[in-house]
């Protein structure tokens, strides 16, 4: 079994999902606070040590037509590069178009308004990113 982590990158909040390549199932884990897209690297390092992922998926922010979004796409790529550089873990960027919309819809459908907070939305977006990657690659 190969553990995988997925990140829904954001400037203030980064959602995290866990999964593995055998079951191809993802679960919401937690979210990290960020300042201008930069998380607390010590906390992230602890998470990586705990889960020991074989690789990491980072959501690639694109517009509906598949074009890069000037600021956020570059920051997400920089975040991915920093993870690889700091921890030596392979990082794969994966299209995250409409994951937030889908996450909100899923949360509302199953739990109503009470679960529509930023952390839950970001974590569920990370789940959707990871499950989408599993569907397309494994």
Tens of pLDDT along the chain (138 residues) come to 699 999 999 999 999 999 999 999 999 999 999 999 999 999 999 999 999 999 999 999 988 788 888 889 999 999 999 999 999 999 999 988 756 555 445 544 655 555 545 556 678 889 989 998 998 897
Q: What is residue 96's predicted lDDT score, i.e. its pLDDT?
A: 82
Other beta carbons within 10 angstroms of residue 101's beta carbon come to 12
> What fold does the segment set 3-137 form as a domain?
Nucleotidyltransferase; domain 5 (3.30.420)
Q: What is residue 67's predicted lDDT score, i.e. its pLDDT?
A: 85
Determine contact, residues 92/53, Cβ cutoff 8 Å.
no
Distance from C-alpha of 103 to C-alpha of 125, rounded to nearest angstrom? 5
Q: What is residue 107's predicted lDDT score, i.e. its pLDDT?
A: 47
Tokens of 97: 């178009």
Q: What's the Rg (C-alpha) of the chain?
A: 14
Domain boundaries, the chain: 3-137
């Amino acid at each position: 079994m190969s553990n995988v982590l997925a990140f829904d990158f954001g400037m203030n909040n980064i959602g995290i999902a866990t999964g593995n390549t055998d079951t191809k199932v993802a679960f919401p884990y937690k979210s990290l606070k960020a300042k201008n897209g930069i998380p607390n690297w010590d906390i992230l390092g602890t998470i990586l040590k705990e889960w020991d992922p074989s690789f990491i998926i980072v959501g690639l922010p694109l517009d509906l037509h598949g074009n890069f979004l000037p600021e956020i796409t570059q920051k997400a790529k920089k975040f991915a590069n920093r993870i690889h550089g700091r921890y030596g873990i392979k990082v794969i960027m994966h299209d995250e178009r409409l994951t937030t919309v889908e996450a909100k819809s899923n949360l509302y459908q199953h739990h109503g308004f009470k679960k529509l907070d930023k952390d839950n939305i970001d974590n569920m977006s990370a789940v959707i990113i990871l499950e989408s990657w599993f569907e397309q690659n494994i």
